[in-house]
Amino acid sequence: MATVLSVSGSPSATSRTTRLLRHVDARLAAQGHRVVPFEVRSLPADALLAGDVSHPELARATALFAEADAVVIGTPVYKAAYSGLLKALLDVLPQYALRGKTVLPLATGGSTAHVLAVDYALRPVLSAMGAGHITQGWFVLDRHITVREDGSTEIERETDVLLTPVVQAFAGALERQAEPALAG
């Protein structure tokens, strides 16, 4: 099965975007994929903003992208675009860090006015970075992701139902990606 890097571009420690990603991660792991969660906010800001690719943490982030077969990228939408934190990471990665990889873009936001940010802001950057296949992205309203009393995440039922085929399509793309490798 595939190694999937699951990247949260949220700067928030209580991020709904990260909660959505971990929900998707659990689904992918249940299908046998190895999921590696990664939060961009864990990188040292000074090294990230300076573009210091020799910094050990940035070098580790670059290695995570290189080792992954596929990437799930999640971001909150701010001012009709993906987060500046995610942009800072994408800017320091090698130009073709996504070459040949299957990518699932996800976004969260407070208004449906930002639903097109996945296709008009994030998808072009992923494509420019060489993504082999970008599956259908998905936007989830913040209010449809809540925290239960026990600290676990609850995705609003209808949202979860609509998210299911998006995750399944990504998983299917991973299987198709693996078939030539198995045949060879």
Residue-wise pLDDT tens digits, 57-84: 999 999 999 999 999 999 999 999 999 9
Which tens digit of pLDDT belongs to each residue from 142-162?
999 999 999 999 999 999 999
CB proximity list for 175: less than 8 A, separation 6 or greater: none
Which tens digit of pLDDT belongs to each residue from 115-148?
999 999 999 999 999 999 999 999 999 999 999 9
Contact assessment for residue 140 and residue 111, using Cβ atoms and an 8 Å cutoff: no
Arch. (CATH architecture) of 3-183: 3-Layer(aba) Sandwich (3.40)
Q: How confident is the model at residue 178 (pLDDT cuts 50, 70, 90)?
A: confident
Q: Whose CA is closest to 27, among 115, 138, 148?
A: 138
CB proximity list for 7: less than 8 A, separation 6 or greater: 21, 38, 39, 40, 71, 72, 73, 74, 86, 89
Q: What is the pLDDT of residue 182?
A: 59
What is the rounded average pLDDT of the residues 14-21? 97
Q: How far apart are CA 172 and CA 153, in angstroms?
A: 25
Q: Distance between alpha carbon 124 and the CA centroid of its chain, in Å?
A: 15
For the entire predicted model, the pTM comes to: 0.95
- In angstroms, what CA-CA distances link 121 with 66, 94, 137? 23, 19, 12
Q: How confident is the model at residue 99 (pLDDT cuts 50, 70, 90)?
A: very high
Q: Distance between alpha carbon 16 and the CA centroid of its chain, in Å?
A: 13
Which tens digit of pLDDT belongs to each residue from 26-62?
999 999 999 999 999 999 999 999 999 999 999 999 9
What is the rounded average pLDDT of the residues 97-107? 97
Q: What is the pLDDT of residue 156?
A: 97
What is the rounded average pLDDT of the residues 165-174? 97
Q: What is the pLDDT of residue 184?
A: 57
In degrees and rounded to multiples of 5, residue 22 shows phi and psi of -65, -30
CA trace torsion 12, 22, 90, 88 (10° rounding)? 10
- Two tokens, residue 97: 């860090």
Q: How far apart are CA 20 and CA 12, in angstroms?
A: 13
Q: What is the pLDDT of residue 180?
A: 64
Q: Whose CA is closest to 90, among 54, 128, 37, 55?
A: 128
